[in-house]
Chain A
Amino acid sequence: MIEREVTIRNRAGLHTRPAASLVKLAAKFKAEFFIEKEGFEINGKSIIGVMTLAAEQGSKLHLKFSGEDEEEMARAIVELFEQGFGEPMQ
């Protein structure tokens, strides 16, 4: 299992559109993917779960990947967070 810490960087936070891109990207990988925020964990491949996170700009999330392609998946997902989902960051 791989674990990573990320911060929400885009201004609007993890609202519907970024949540959708995250879930779509996650679906391309086989590994399991969970997101934890403030002790609350959801499945990162579930849009309703990601919507529930209410992660605003600056929130810190703990990501967990486990499965055969966990390395690549972690890399791709962390990059998406770092790019702020391609949205305005500041």
Chain B
Amino acid sequence: MTEQDGNYFTAVDPTSMPEEQTHKPEVVIKGIPASPGIAIGPAFLFRKSAPTIREKSITAEDVPQEIARLEQAVARSHKELRKILDFALSKLGDDKAKIFEAQLMILEDTILFETIYKRVRSELKNAEYVVHDEIGKYHRMMLTSKDEYTRERAHDVEDVRNRILRNMQEEKLISRLEGSSVIISQNLTAADTLILSRNDVLGYATDIGGITSHTALLARALKIPAVVGARNVSHTVQHGDRVIVDGYSGVVYINPSEATLRQLEEKQQQFKLFEERLSELRDLPAETIDGHRVDLSANIEFEKEIEFIRLQGADGIGLYRSEMLLIGKEVFPSEEEQAEQYRLIAESMYPKRVIIRTFDVGGDKIVADAVKENNPFLGWRGIRVMLDKPDLFLEQLRAILRSSTKKNVAVMFPMISSIKEVRAAKGYVEEAKKQLRAQNLPFDEKIKVGIMVEVPAAAVLAEDLANEVDFLSIGTNDLIQYLLAVDRGNDVVSGLYQEFHPAVLRFLRRIIERGKKRDVWVGMCGEMAGDPMATILLLGLGLDEFSVVPKVLPEIKKIIRSVKLREAKRIAKHALSLQTEDEVKAYLRSIMKERFPDIPLD
């Protein structure tokens, strides 16, 4: 079937290709996973030869006809893009459809087209050549821009130029494929990706492109598996080859062997089941069989992760690592910049809670000033840095407070080791509030304030510290390192870093019990919270909040929803009675094996 809407396949229907792929060797190409899922099917090679443009001289008499041809091509391109824009609006919503608005505006750029008409008249050159050359100037400048946004727009400019040129050359335009196939291309524009998706597209794989490219963005929105940046895939694949696009690991298999095929089909099936389970779980609470509810939230570093954690069914953000804002920056972001970022996160999570941890710099993280320390983990880091830099601290606290107007924001201090530090930090919170009041800026007067328990001293003082704050959040990574005196980045001793060391378990029990005695809630945002083997144990110890890396949310929720609190308590009690980590692990592993044979443990 042929349709005149501006896409141009110079390809043959893959289903009509001779079946000879069984003789071809398997080729594996690694790219970037851009949209999750696994697609298996015949390749449709989408070769986008840029229109060939020849510079031709014309006579003065040819000019009116040449200009009329161009005007017609522009009008037709406009109509096509309108159609694409409407389709995008219906399928993707306002936001993502905006990509096409910019292209429409270029078609309406009278200055640009007047210049082109003028050049056709004065240079007596064919319109194709002048269009190509004139728009090409802008395209080249945008491509070399330092600004990523502008470089992305360069593709829009190129796309719109090629659309006009194709319409001038009146190429045969086909945009319907027969049967379902995997689209392989050197690159796909936003329009290509979208229009192709009207067919039964199983997946996409392209030579170039990154995770933020249009193809990646739209493929995710359309829920079609995609791998981008798979170099040379379009030159390696032939029409009708059987291909597998693994959008989870970013691998493209061309003419897969029977073994590969079976393996990937199995993975496809597994993920399908997993996704079904996930969507069933998403809107269910993290609640035990006997009705004990805990908060299952996510640790995030970037605002971009929010969409994903929502899909994963998080109850909120238990740890937002604000220091990630400092990456690549030479100076600290301004209060305004911070306030806007925090507000964005708070608003997109509303009414769910967002815990913002103040800058945790130092240790192995970003250093605020170039300070040489022999032992940075025992050095100037976390709250210590901020208390020494009151201006920076107040700026950040004001920014956090300003994002709290909807009352779903809490603030948390890292690396607390004494009551004195908590009081000092709280003093700055009060000072920041006072300053905002003076400026008449709104904020949540009752913003919740908490601390990370990651220094053994804080664990020892848990009860007294709990008197000072609204919540405790256990940072197991550092707590375990400090408690066991093991640097887990040091290969020689990293084996001694043990999450299930009996001393760790007893310490955790102590922190949770002491915190709860003072009626504050106790959460955990360290890696242990996201370790499936620890979930029942932590539940049994009475943990109120699990804040985990987004990808394990469904698994942890599944475990929580499959036990009774009573059983969890019994299991925790037994685990606490054991003498070595090996015994603890063997015990927990046997419980997991019995109840959750499909959850992998390491």
Q: DSSP class of B's interface residues: helix, strand, loop or mixed?
A: helix
Q: Are A52 and B112 in contact (CB under 8 A)?
A: no
A21 to chain B, nearest CB (A): 11
Which A residues are in CB contact (< 8 Å) with B102? 16, 51
Question: Is B388 part of the binding interface, using a Cβ–Cβ cutoff of 8 Å?
Answer: no
Name which residue of chain B comes closest to A45, CB basis.
Answer: B111
- Residues A29-56 near B (CB distance < 8 A): 40, 43, 45-49, 51-52, 54, 56
Q: Are B142 and A90 in contact (CB under 8 A)?
A: no
Residues of B contacting A52 in the complex (Cβ-Cβ under 8 angstroms): 138, 141-142, 145, 150
Interface size range of chain A in the complex: 10 to 19
The minimal Cβ–Cβ distance linking A28 to chain B, given in whole angstroms, is 13
| A20 and B98 alpha carbons, distance in the complex (Å) | 12
- Total chain B interface residues with beta-carbon distance under 8 A: 25
Bound form: Cα–Cα A51–B109 in Å: 12
Of the candidates B109, B111, B334, the one having the most CB atoms from chain A within 10 angstroms of its own CB is B111
Q: Using known A-B contacts A47-B105, A88-B340, determine if residue A54 contacts B142 with beta carbons closer than 8 Å.
A: yes
List B residues 93-123 near A (Cβ within 8 Å).
Answer: 98, 101-102, 105-106, 108-112
Contacts of B142 in A (CB 8 A): 51-52, 54
Q: Find chain A residues with CB under 8 A from B329 CB.
A: none
Please state if B106 and A56 are interface contacts (CB–CB under 8 Å).
no
What separation, in Å, do the CA atoms of A8 and B146 have in the docked complex?
Answer: 17
User: Within B359-411, which residues are at the interface with A (CB < 8 Å)?
Assistant: none
How distant is the Cα of A20 from the Cα of B141 in the complex, in angstroms?
Answer: 19
Select A54's contact among B108, B109, B147, B336, beta carbons within 8 Å: B147
**By the criterion CB–CB under 8 Å, are A54 and B138 in contact?**
no
Least Cβ–Cβ distance between B329 and chain A, in angstroms? 14
Across the two chains, which residue of chain A brings its CB closest to B144? A54
Say if the beta carbon of A4 comes within 8 Å of chain B. no
Interchain CB contact under 8 A, A56 and B147? yes
The verdict on B157 contacting chain A, using a C-beta distance below 8 Å, is yes
Contact status of A54 and B340, CB under 8 A, knowing A47-B105, A48-B138, A49-B111: no
Chain A minimum-CB-distance residue to B334? A90
Does B196 count as interface, using CB distance less than 8 angstroms? no
Distance in Å: Cβ of B375 to nearest Cβ of chain A: 39
Complex formed: what's the CA distance from A52 to B138 in Å?
6
A41-78 residues at the B interface, CB under 8 angstroms: 43, 45-49, 51-52, 54, 56
